[in-house]
Structure 1
Amino acid sequence: METSRRTIIAAAAAAGVTAATAGTAHAGTGAGKPVKELFGRLADGTKVHRWSLANGGTRLKVISYGGIVQSLEIPDRHGRYANVSLGYGDLASYVVGTTFFGATIGRYGNRIAGGRFTLDGKSYQLSVNDGVNSLHGGAKGFNTKVWDVEGFTSGSDVGLRLHYTSIDGEMGYPGTLRVTVTYTLTRHGDWRIDYAATTDRATVVNLTNHTYYNLAGEGSGGIYDHELTLAAGRFTPTDAGLIPTGELAKVAGTPFDFRRAKPVGRDIRAGHPQLVTAKGFDHNWVLDKGVTARPEHIATLRDPGSGRTLRIATDQPGVQFYSGNFLDGTLVGTSGRTYRQGDGMCLETQHFPDSPNRPAFPSTVLRPGSTYRTTTVHSFSA
Structure 2
Amino acid sequence: MVYIKVLKEHFGRLEENDVWQWTLINDHGMKMSVLNYGAIVTSIETKDKFGEFANISLGFSNLEDYLAYSPYFGATLGPVAGRITKGQFSLDGKKFQLTQNEGANHRHGGKLNFSKKLWDVSVEENLDEVIMTFTYHMADGENGYPGNIDATMTYTLNNKNEWLIHYEAKTDKPTIYNPSNHIYFNLTGEAGTDVVSHHLWVSSEAFLPINNESLPTGAIAPTENTIFDLRAGREIAEITRSQDQQIKLVGGGLDHAFILKHENGRPDAVLLDTQSGRRVEMETEADSVLIYTANSLAGNFSIQNKPVPKYAGITMETQGLVDAINHEGFGNIILRPDQPFKSKTAFRFAVES
Match of 2:132 among 151, 160, 181: 160
Alignment-mate amino acid for residue 242 of structure 1? S
User: How far did 1:101 drift?
Assistant: 0.5
The reply to whether residue 72 of structure 1 matches residue 38 of structure 2 is: no
In the TM superposition, residue 131 of structure 1 has moved relative to its aligned partner by: 1.4
Give the secondary structure class of the aligned counterpart of 1:297: coil
Inter-partner Cα distance in structure 2 for 1:112 and 1:154:
40
CA distance in 1, matches of 2:291, 2:37: 24
Residue of structure 2 in register with 1:283 after alignment: 256
Shift of 1:359: 2.6
Find the residue that maps to 2:215 and give its secondary structure.
Answer: coil
Aligned counterpart in structure 2 of residue 224 of structure 1, from 183, 190, 196: 196
Distance 2:188 2:127 in 1: 32
Contact map agreement 1:316 1:374 (CA 8 A) in 2: yes
Q: Deviations over 1:240-259 (max 9, x none)?
A: 11111111111112111111
Deviation track 1:255-310 (CA, whole Å, cap 9, x = no partner) reads 111111211111322221111211121000011239x9xx9620000001100000
Counterpart check, 1:250 vs 2:227: no
Query: Take 1:296 and 1:136, find their aligned partners in 2: how far apart are those partners?
Result: 29
Q: Which amino acid aligns with 1:355?
A: A
d(CA) in 2 for partners of 1:340, 1:71: 18
Return closer, same or farther for 1:226/1:187 CA change in 2, 3 Å cut-off: same
Identify the range of structure 1 (295-304 vs 109-118) with the bigger mean alpha-carbon deviation.
295-304
Equivalent residues of 1:56, 1:185 under 8 A apart: no
| Residue 312 (1) aligns with residue 282 (2) | yes
Q: Which residue of 2 aligns with 1:362?
A: 331
Q: Give the corresponding residue for 1:192.
A: 164
Contact 1:246 1:358 in 2 (8 A): yes
Q: Distance in 2 between matches of 1:73 and 1:241?
A: 35
CA 343–78 in structure 1, closer or farther in 2 if over 3 Å, else same:
same
1:50 aligns with 2:21: yes
- Give the Cα separation in 1 of the matches to 2:262 and 2:129: 28
**Number of equivalent positions:** 348
Amino acid at match of 2:22: W
Give the match for residue 102 of structure 1: 74
Correspondent of 2:291 among 312, 316, 321: 321
- When normalised by structure 1's length, the TM-score is 0.88
TM normalised by structure 2 equals 0.96
Aligned mates of 1:104, 1:296 — CA distance in 2:
26
Matched with 1:32 is 4
> 1:320, 1:75 → 2: CA distance?
26
With over 3 angstroms needed to count, the CA separation of the structure-2 counterparts of 1:261 and 1:208, relative to structure 1, is same
For the residue of structure 1 that corresponds to 2:224, the secondary structure is coil
Distance 1:178 1:296, change over 3 A: farther
User: How far does residue 168 in structure 1 lie from its aligned partner after superposition?
Assistant: 0.6
Unmatched runs of 5 consecutive residues or more in structure 2: none
**Aligned letter for 1:139?**
K
Counterpart contact for 1:61–1:71, Cα < 8 Å: yes
- On the 8 A contact 2:4/2:129 being kept in 1, the answer is no
In the alignment, residue 180 of structure 2 is paired with which amino acid? T
Partner of 1:172 in structure 2? 144
| Counterpart for residue 120 of structure 1 | 92
Whether the aligned pair in 1 keeps the contact of 2:5 and 2:26 (CA below 8 Å) is no
The correspondence of residues 260-275 of structure 1 with structure 2, limited to 5 A, is 260-275=232-247
SS across alignment from 1:275: helix
Distance 1:152 1:220 in 2: 35
The answer as to whether partners of 1:34 and 1:152 remain within 8 angstroms in 2 is: no
Percent of pairs identical after alignment?
36
- The 1-side partners of 2:194 and 2:308 are apart by 9
- Select between 228-237 and 159-168 the one with higher mean Cα deviation: 159-168
Q: Which whole-Å CA distance do the structure 2 matches of 1:303 and 1:261 have between them?
A: 12
Aligned to 2:119: 147
Counterpart of 1:286, as a letter, is I
Secondary structure at the aligned position of 1:276 is classed as helix
Shift of residue 150 of structure 1? 1.1
1:289-304 maps to which residues of 2 (within 5 A)? 289=262, 297-304=267-274
